[in-house]
Amino acid sequence: MIDKEGKIAFFDSGVGGLTVFDKFKKLLPKESYVYFGDLKNSPYGAKTKSELIVLADKVFKFLETKNVKAVLMACNTTSANVYEELKNNYSFKVYPIIQSCAKVIAQSGIKSVGVFATCATINSHAYSKELKLHNSSLQVYEQACPKWVEIVEKGLQNSSESIQIIKQDLDLMLENKPEKIILGCTHYPYLINILSKFAPKDMFIDPSKFFAEFVKSDMENLGLINENSTQSEEFYVSANNKEFVSAASVFYEVKSLPIIADL
Ligand code: DGL
């Protein structure tokens, strides 16, 4: 039996999961939150499935010590590669981003969609599989953007070299003429200002909004919302806490230095 007075946790390799956390906190402002960024092992997109299983399991076991009722995998790479293997192993409910958003995107009336994601997500074809479960005629173009996570973590999004890399990747995708493009890595919304210099902003789908709405509604259905809680937030990283605060600042103000939890 999950305790509805527990905390809600967010898990990512770094600052990307804040794009989900920020939206979720606005939907449920009274809950207590824990955020974990596995910066010691970032980027996850370059890891193998078995490496990702080991890393995610360590983070989940750490979160089990923090009185957590639900964990949002605010990381597409682990949602694609470890959710099925690990989902039933812990004392809390686990929510994966891709599987939680695929239906609403697939049934939004579009006929073709691009997916930008990490190498490990693209190699798993998780987006294409999940989207086609809900709309078998949807045309899906998947493309890895291997350098984007590092650009975000290092706060280099405005350098001319980064802009050139982003534009090159975007141009390649645009050759397919997709109606929309999913930002299938939670770090990528940090790059929306650059992307929208070269393509209309409304072309890009940030799944974090759908993910936050899905989890809120599921937790309501399961009776897991805590109406009496007073909002709090704790941040943990496995390394580089100062760098985390600095990279996050484009998007989210982390008010106190995250605690380093060396798993
Ligand atoms: N932000 C993560 C994702 O959504 C992981 C990025 C990485 O560490 O490669 O896939």
**43: pLDDT confidence band, cut at 50, 70 and 90?**
very high
Q: Is pLDDT above 90 for 263?
A: no
Q: How far apart are CA 152 and CA 136, in angstroms?
A: 34
**What mean pLDDT is reported for the chain?**
97
pLDDT of residue 236: 98
Q: Is 185 a catalytic residue?
A: yes
From 18, 77, 100, 191, mutation site for ligand 1 pocket: most ligand atoms within 8 A of C-beta: 77
Q: Is pLDDT above 90 for 258?
A: yes
CB atoms within 10 A of CB 158: 11
pTM: 0.97
**262: pLDDT confidence band, cut at 50, 70 and 90?**
confident
On whether the CB atoms of residues 208 and 182 are closer than 8 A, the answer is no
pLDDT of residue 18: 98
Phi, psi of 197 (to 5 degrees): -75, -25
pLDDT of residue 33: 97
**229: pLDDT confidence band, cut at 50, 70 and 90?**
confident
- CA 153 – ligand 1 centroid, Å: 11
- Counting from 1 in the atom list of ligand 1, the atom nearest the Cα of 43 is 8
- CA 239 – ligand 1 centroid, Å: 16
Q: How far apart are CA 55 and CA 131, in angstroms?
A: 27
Contact 149 CB / ligand 1 (< 6 Å): yes
Q: Using alpha carbons, select from 2, 36, 65, 12 the residue that is nearest to residue 233.
A: 36
Average pLDDT over residues 242-256: 94
pLDDT of residue 72: 98
CB atoms within 10 A of CB 108: 14
- Counting from 1 in the atom list of ligand 1, the atom nearest the Cα of 42 is 8
Percent of the chain with pLDDT over 70: 100
- CA 165 – ligand 1 centroid, Å: 18
pLDDT of residue 241: 97
pLDDT of residue 208: 98
Average pLDDT over residues 4-29: 97
- CA 42 – ligand 1 centroid, Å: 8
- Counting from 1 in the atom list of ligand 1, the atom nearest the Cα of 187 is 1
Average pLDDT over residues 139-158: 97
Contact 19 CB / ligand 1 (< 6 Å): no
Contact 187 CB / ligand 1 (< 6 Å): yes
pLDDT of residue 230: 84
pLDDT of residue 100: 98
Q: Is 101 a catalytic residue?
A: no
125: region left, alpha or beta (phi > 0 left; psi from -120 to 50 alpha): left
Contact 45 CB / ligand 1 (< 6 Å): yes
Cα–Cα distances (Å) from 151 to 156, 178, 243, in that order, read 5, 25, 13
- CA 137 – ligand 1 centroid, Å: 28
pLDDT of residue 251: 86
pLDDT tens, position by position, 54-107: 999 999 999 999 999 999 999 999 999 999 999 999 999 999 999 999 999 999
pLDDT of residue 111: 98
**227: pLDDT confidence band, cut at 50, 70 and 90?**
confident
Q: Is pLDDT above 90 for 113?
A: yes
pLDDT tens, position by position, 188-208: 999 999 999 999 999 999 999
Average pLDDT over residues 160-164: 98
Q: Is pLDDT above 90 for 249?
A: yes
